[in-house]
Amino acid sequence: MFTELLEKTYTQEITPELALRILEESAEPDNAIKLFEVASRVRDEQIGKDLWWSSGISGIFPCTVVPRCTYCTYFTENFLPSKDIAAAAKGIADLGIKHMHLSGGTNLQGYDRELVELIQEIHRVSDIDIEVNLGPSLAIDTLRVLKDMGIKSVTSSLEVCNDELFQKVKPGDSLEARKNLIEMCEREGMSVRSMIMIGIGETLKDRINHLFYLKKFHRLYNLRFSRFYPYPKTGCSMLPRCSPWDLARTIAVARLILPHVQLGLAAGNNHDDIPLWLLAGGGNQVGGVTISRKLPQPSPEQQVLRISDQLYIIDNRQLIEHYLKDMGRRVLYECPSN
């Protein structure tokens, strides 16, 4: 019976009802294996087998959302110096990586001037491809400026697409503003990246509705999946940790709904999640290098490069390449066009 459900995705356009049924029945391991096989094949056929390196730096601007999101510990309350961010971008580019994310924080009143000035600072020292993630912190005129500056994509992370749940876990934020930013990018021809959080209290139907909401945007190129983690001293600390099995099944169904979209791993995941993500039909973009404000504990699996007194490049490529080589995959340095 489950095989017949999967076969329907070949012969007809997938519907929310069919997707929900596949997600529900994939909880059975035998069914999930069949789903993963189909999702992996769709990924290989639609976006290829080779993966490519990306990088990221978060907490570049203060988060002004009040009250705070009830699950978040990633915010900062001060600006990271532009010269340090530019130096980090140059350091990443010197490693051969050609793509980076600039993330956080959110300001519902806008971070337009600050972001444009920061990108100008980076462009003075590096030609690395940049995508930005500041929540709904951009006006349409700024979006047009970013497009003229060659910015590769703008992120609007909905996290959850259920109005009531969004208000509960993100009481100081605006789902409407985040949706408006995606719609604005669609109209202006700007590539869009978004994020979905799994395990924050949403239903399986909520997830499917979220995926089908995003499906209508032709400029959506990347959807990243956060695996909920109950950080201590947050409002969601009593919720259970999201299972990697739950996440992988959702990614596999997302592959059937969004066959051409990069499906990546976001907060709450680690390198050990990569094999199951790949098996489930995840995307081709791999974050090999990150920027940290803290000097990490020494690890033979990492290389650490100091940028400034408060900024370090954390290079995890060696470990990730080891994992992927065992799976018969290689990671390239060239970025595909969005």
pLDDT value at 337 more than 90: no
Q: What are 196's strand-pairing partners?
A: 159, 225
Percent with pLDDT over 90 in the chain: 88
pLDDT tens track for 196-225: 999 999 999 999 999 999 999 999 999 999
Is residue 337 situated within a structural domain?
Answer: no
What is the model's pLDDT at position 308? 87
The alpha helices in the chain, defined as continuous H runs, are: 2-11, 16-25, 29-47, 82-94, 112-123, 140-148, 163-169, 175-188, 204-215, 244-257, 274-279, 317-326
The pair of three-digit structure tokens given for residue 255, joined into one six-digit string: 């592959």
Of 105, 205, 123, the closest CA to residue 160 belongs to: 205
Residue 136 to residue 31: CA distance in whole angstroms: 39
Is residue 133 situated within a structural domain?
Answer: yes
What is the model's pLDDT at position 238? 95
pLDDT tens track for 258-316: 999 999 999 999 999 999 999 999 999 999 999 988 887 778 888 999 998 889 999 99
What is the model's pLDDT at position 76? 86
Is residue 338 situated within a structural domain?
Answer: no
Residues 6+ apart with CB under 8 A from 92: 55, 100, 126, 128, 289, 291, 313
Collapsed DSSP state (helix, strand, coil) of residue 197: strand
**How would you classify the pairing of strands 262-265 and 220-227?**
parallel
The one-character DSSP state at 70 is T
Q: Given pLDDT bands bounded at 50, 70 and 90, which one contains residue 338?
A: low
Residues 6+ apart with CB under 8 A from 331: 50, 51, 52, 53, 286, 288, 317, 320, 321, 324
What is the model's pLDDT at position 293? 86
pLDDT value at 11 more than 80: yes
What is the model's pLDDT at position 281? 97
Cβ–Cβ < 8 Å for 177, 146: no
Residue 338 to residue 336: CA distance in whole angstroms: 6
Residues 6+ apart with CB under 8 A from 156: 135, 136, 178, 179, 181, 182, 185, 192, 193, 194
Is residue 115 situated within a structural domain?
Answer: yes
Collapsed DSSP state (helix, strand, coil) of residue 103: strand
pLDDT tens track for 95-135: 999 999 999 889 999 999 999 999 999 999 999 999 999 98
Cβ–Cβ < 8 Å for 179, 185: no
Owning domain of residue 94? 2-332
CATH of the domain at 57: 3.20.20.70
- pTM exceeds 0.85, yes or no: yes
The pair of three-digit structure tokens given for residue 328, joined into one six-digit string: 């018969």
Name the amino acid, one letter, at 314: I
Number of domains making up the chain? 1
pLDDT value at 165 more than 90: yes
